[in-house]
Amino acid sequence: MFGCTTKKEKKFTEEEINIIPKPVFTELHKGSFSFNGNTKLVASTKNEQKLLASFSQKFKQVSGVKLAVVASAPSSNFLQFKIVDSLPYEGYNLVINSNHITVSAKTYSGFVYGLETIKQLLPASIESANFVQKEWVVPAIEIKDNPRFKWRGLMLDVSRHFFEVDYIKKTLDRMAMLKMNTFHWHLVDDQGWRIEIKKYPKLTSVGGYRVNQEDKGWNARPNAPLGTKATYGGFYTQEQIKEVVAYAKERGITVVPEIEMPAHVSSAIAAYPEFSCLGEQIMVPSGGVWPITDIYCAGKEETFTFLEDVLTEVMELFPSKYIHIGGDEATKTNWKTCTHCTSRLQTEDLANVDELQSYFIKRIERFISSKNRVLIGWDEILEGGLAPGATVMSWRGVKGGLEASAEGHNVVMTPGTHCYFDHYQGNQDQEPLAFGGYTPLSKVYEFNPVVDKMTPEQEKHVLGGQANLWAEYIPTEQQSEYMIFPRLAAMSEALWTPTTHKNWANFSGRVKELFKRYDVMGVNYAKSAYQVTT
Ligand code: TNX
């Protein structure tokens, strides 16, 4: 006999359904389903069986009960995955009755999300790493769900401060829980180069380390004297990168690497000064590089050979369709006087240094598209003319997104006003030092990547949106968690849920329930974000 048929069924109410992001369609039915030692997990393909096996492992940890993964369904008491090709990409349908659970989906991600929804229907203690005595019951329900946007991103800057692989994995778990599917990994910046490149070992042995842990952002220029011992930093080996990419894939997440150019690269120039205009030795700065004048030389052919070599290794590690090349905040003072750059201006018939940046990015774009990938960059890549196949990440407001989409380019919207998680989220007097700005939970929740001024044609070019955590003021993983959560929950609903289903008061209630889960998981979320805005 099964537990579910012998015990009195638990009654669920609407208030107990607290899924984030809110599904497109939810209908609560009478009855419930109980997991017990006889419950079978059913899937026909290897990948999906693997996904169920990791659910089974997690379930065993907390319940002490092992659920067997099998290839075909018994007559009752099972959770099954069913491939249904007519469902939307990344979408899923979930039907729970007292006899069994069915998750239908077209793609692997749909199954990931169906399972995440089931976890959110289970008691918060399902997230515990230790045994909990509990009945593992979910309500009878029907859910039909699919995302509004296909790019639901989080960017993490690991240059300004370095975060270990384990933390990256934890972050990926927490993204999957919220059905976020793009991890934009900001691996290069002035204050540290974080990805092993076999052909240029000094990028990490020199570029990966700086003198001080503290990075004071734009408020200081603590460039250490040459020769000072650099001890703070770190980098990811290619093996670690592969591990992270595979870990993300299992969770339906694509990892988009960002290799900055032509600016935000003091770390690379400290390692290989020959790729700058001046060729002078510099130190990896501990912060405060502003304006950013130590940039790659756009006149030397060697710069492009170097970058193509780097990108070749990067593309071998990251299967992502999109390769982010930064492109932001280049101060082109050196380009104006550099003999290589000025002769490039002449030979290429370029009017000014903005056009030289455009030449630079277009060249890189040709290389990336020759490898069947798509270049994505910050909205400065519009200056001097956008490369033909480029996608634009609009951060200086929505302007860049409007302009690029009008030109027929795809865009990811990430305006500072709503998407910058390095901003304060509560009363500044009570918050840890942050970059500045004020982006509380409610503001993130309001975010809509589609802007009023867009035509339907432009709208089609909006891939989605993204939260960005710049890490100048984030020295620890705990503080990173604090800045990301719960704001990422608001971002996830802004990118997943149809606007007609969004409701701030209702969301705030569900966030309270999410906090219970975060407590069990040990996430250092910001309670302040919630208090200030409700
Ligand atoms: C601007 S946003 C930058 C980053 C800083 C950030 C601080 C962008 C493309 N560039 O380098 O960390 O401001 O908010």
DSSP 8-state symbol, 500:
G
**pLDDT at position 202 over 90:** yes
422 CB within 6 A, ligand 1: yes
pLDDT tens-digit readout, 375-393: 999 999 999 899 999 999 9
Count CB-CB contacts under 10 A for residue 47.
12
**pLDDT at position 220 over 60:** no
Separation of CA 436 and ligand 1 centre (Å): 12
Instruction: Please identify which of the residues 142, 250, 308, 329 carries the catalytic annotation.
Output: 329
395 CB within 6 A, ligand 1: yes
92 CB within 6 A, ligand 1: no
- Say how many CA atoms lie within 13 Å of 527 toward its Cβ: 6
**pLDDT at position 218 over 70:** no
Separation of CA 521 and ligand 1 centre (Å): 30
Separation of CA 520 and ligand 1 centre (Å): 33
329 is catalytic: yes
Instruction: For residue 27, give both structure tokens.
Output: 């209908």
Q: What is the CATH number of domain 3-145?
A: 3.30.379.10
328 CB within 6 A, ligand 1: yes
pLDDT tens-digit readout, 52-76: 999 999 999 999 999 999 999 999 9
Handedness of CA 39, 40, 42, 46 (dihedral sign): positive
Which residue's alpha carbon is at the smallest distance from atom 5 of ligand 1?
Answer: 470
**pLDDT at position 112 over 70:** yes
**pLDDT at position 9 over 90:** no
What does the pLDDT read at residue 520? 97
pLDDT tens-digit readout, 131-190: 999 999 999 999 999 999 999 999 999 999 999 999 999 999 999 999 999 999 999 999
Count CB-CB contacts under 10 A for residue 352.
13
Separation of CA 174 and ligand 1 centre (Å): 24
Residue 215 pLDDT grade (very low, low, confident, very high; cuts 50, 70, 90): low
Please report, for the chain, the start and end positions of each structural domain, with discontinuous segments joined by +: 3-145, 151-533
- Please give the share of the chain, as a percent, with pLDDT higher than 90: 89
Residue 4 pLDDT grade (very low, low, confident, very high; cuts 50, 70, 90): very low
pTM exceeds 0.90 = yes
Identify the top-confidence range among 223-232, 286-295, 492-501: 492-501
Q: How far apart, in whole angstroms, are the C-alpha atoms of residue 417 and residue 394?
A: 11
What does the pLDDT read at residue 286? 86
pLDDT tens-digit readout, 400-450: 999 999 999 999 999 999 999 999 999 888 898 898 899 999 999 999 999
Location of structure tokens 């099954």: 80
470 CB within 6 A, ligand 1: yes
Helix %, strand %, coil % for the chain, to 5? Answer: 40, 20, 40
**pLDDT at position 7 over 80:** no
Q: How far apart, in whole angstroms, are the C-alpha atoms of residue 463 and residue 254?
A: 14
What does the pLDDT read at residue 530? 60
Average pLDDT over the chain reads 94
Separation of CA 376 and ligand 1 centre (Å): 16
Nearest atom of ligand 1 to the alpha carbon of 157: 12
Q: How far apart, in whole angstroms, are the C-alpha atoms of residue 482 and residue 306?
A: 38
Helical segments of 36-163, H only: 46-63, 108-121
Measured between alpha carbons, how far is residue 296 from residues 267, 333, 335, 350, 529 in Å?
11, 12, 9, 18, 40
Measured between alpha carbons, how far is residue 465 from residues 410, 429, 493 in Å?
12, 30, 11
> Do 187 and 257 contact (CB within 8 A), yes or no?
yes
Separation of CA 470 and ligand 1 centre (Å): 7
Least confident stretch, 4-8, 136-140, 214-218: 4-8
Which residue's alpha carbon is at the smallest distance from atom 9 of ligand 1?
Answer: 328
Nearest atom of ligand 1 to the alpha carbon of 393: 9
**Residue 89, helix vs strand vs coil:** coil
Q: How far apart, in whole angstroms, are the C-alpha atoms of residue 381 and residue 361?
A: 7
Instruction: For residue 375, give both structure tokens.
Output: 């270049």
Nearest atom of ligand 1 to the alpha carbon of 422: 14
Q: Which of 158, 188, 328, 424 to mutate to test the pocket of ligand 1 (most atoms within 8 A of CB)?
A: 328
Location of structure tokens 């515990």: 128
Q: How far apart, in whole angstroms, are the C-alpha atoms of residue 151 and residue 153?
A: 6
Which residue's alpha carbon is at the smallest distance from atom 2 of ligand 1?
Answer: 395
Q: How far apart, in whole angstroms, are the C-alpha atoms of residue 39 and residue 34?
A: 9
Angle at 360 between CA 358 and CA 362, to 5 degrees: 65
What does the pLDDT read at residue 490? 98
The secondary structure of 377-401 as a DSSP string is EEGGGGTT---TT-EEEE-SSSHHH
Q: How far apart, in whole angstroms, are the C-alpha atoms of residue 66 and residue 64?
A: 7
Superfamily of domain 151-533: Glycosidases (3.20.20.80)
**pLDDT at position 533 over 50:** no
Comparing C-alpha atoms, which of 505, 493, 446, 498 is closest to residue 25? 498
**Residue 233, helix vs strand vs coil:** strand
What does the pLDDT read at residue 1? 40
Residue type (1 letter), 492: S
420 CB within 6 A, ligand 1: yes
The secondary structure of 282-320 as a DSSP string is -PPPSS---S----B-SS-HHHHHHHHHHHHHHHHH---
Comparing C-alpha atoms, which of 387, 260, 269, 384 is closest to residue 334? 269
Q: Which of 265, 393, 412, 470 to mutate to test the pocket of ligand 1 (most atoms within 8 A of CB)?
A: 470
Residue 24 pLDDT grade (very low, low, confident, very high; cuts 50, 70, 90): very high
447 CB within 6 A, ligand 1: no
Separation of CA 468 and ligand 1 centre (Å): 9
Residue 357 pLDDT grade (very low, low, confident, very high; cuts 50, 70, 90): very high
Comparing C-alpha atoms, which of 32, 34, 39 is closest to residue 80? 39
